[in-house]
Amino acid sequence: MTGKPVLILLPGLMCDAGIWRHQIESLSADHDVRVPDFFSLDSMESMAAAALAMTDGPFALIGHSMGGRVAMQVIETAPERVTRVALMDTAAHPVPPGEAAKRQVLLDIADQFGMDGVVRSWLPPMVAQDRLTDEALMQELTALVWRADVAVLKRHTRALLTRHDGFAQLAKVRCPTAFITGDQDAWSPPKQHAEMQAVVPGSTLTVIPDCGHMAPAERPEAVNLALIQWLTQS
C-alpha cells in the first residue's frame, strides 16, 4: 500500500507497459501506477476484468489505442469505480462493414512473414512521418512490437472485432474526461476524437503537434503535460 491514488494505464494493440515508459516515470511520484498485461486475452470483457482486478477500490484510467476501447468497456462494466478517464489515439465507433477484411490483411502478413512483416507493414503508418528517421524512437517501438507475437496479434484482433459500441459506453461517463491525440494520427485523427468529446459533457480535447498514433512514445513531454492537467482537474 502506497497511499497514493491508483492510476491504471491500458496498452494498445500488441503493446505492453513499454508504451507507457515515459508516463510511468512522470506520474509515479504522485500515483500508484499499474499496467495490466493483455497479451493472453482476446476480448474487451476479459481485458476490462484484468484492469478491474488490479485494485479493489477506485482508480483513474488512461487507455491508448485499443486500450482506449478497453477503458470504455471498464466504464460500461463498473462506472462507479472510475474517478477520471483519459482516452488517447482511439475511437468509439462500432465495427463497420469491411473492418474484418482490412484487419485480415495484417493477419495474412503475420502468417506469411511473422513479426518482421508485421513491424515493416504496420508500424511506419502509426508514427508521424517525420519521426520515421528518429532511430531511437523507431528502435524503441520496434522492440515493443517484437515483444508480442503473431498469436497476440490474433487475440487482440479478435477483441477489437467483437467490441461494443463505444459511443454508448461514453454516454455513461460521469467523471473528468480527457481526449488526447496526435495531429498526424491517421488511424485515430483529431476529428474522430472531437466526435467522442461531444458525447461527454465537460470533457477536454488536446491535439499534440507533430505526432502520430504512438503519442505516449512520440511526444511524451506534451502527453505528460496534458495528463497532469487532466489529473489535477477539479
Q: Name the architecture of domain 6-95+157-231.
A: 3-Layer(aba) Sandwich (3.40)
Domain ranges of the chain: 6-95+157-231
- The type of residue at 58 is P
The continuous run of DSSP H or E covering 205 comes out as: strand 204-208
Terminal CA-CA length for the chain? 25
Regarding pTM above 0.85, the answer is yes
Q: Inter-axis angle of helices 66-77 and 44-52, to 10 degrees?
A: 70
CA 126, 128, 133, 137 dihedral sign is negative
Strand order in the sheet with 32-34: 32-34, 6-10, 59-64, 82-88, 177-182, 204-208
| pLDDT band per the 50, 70, 90 thresholds, residue 233 | confident
pLDDT exceeds cutoff 80 at 119: yes
CA dist 108 and 27 (Å) reads 38
| pLDDT band per the 50, 70, 90 thresholds, residue 1 | low
Residues 85-112: tens digit of each pLDDT: 999 999 999 999 999 999 999 999 999 9
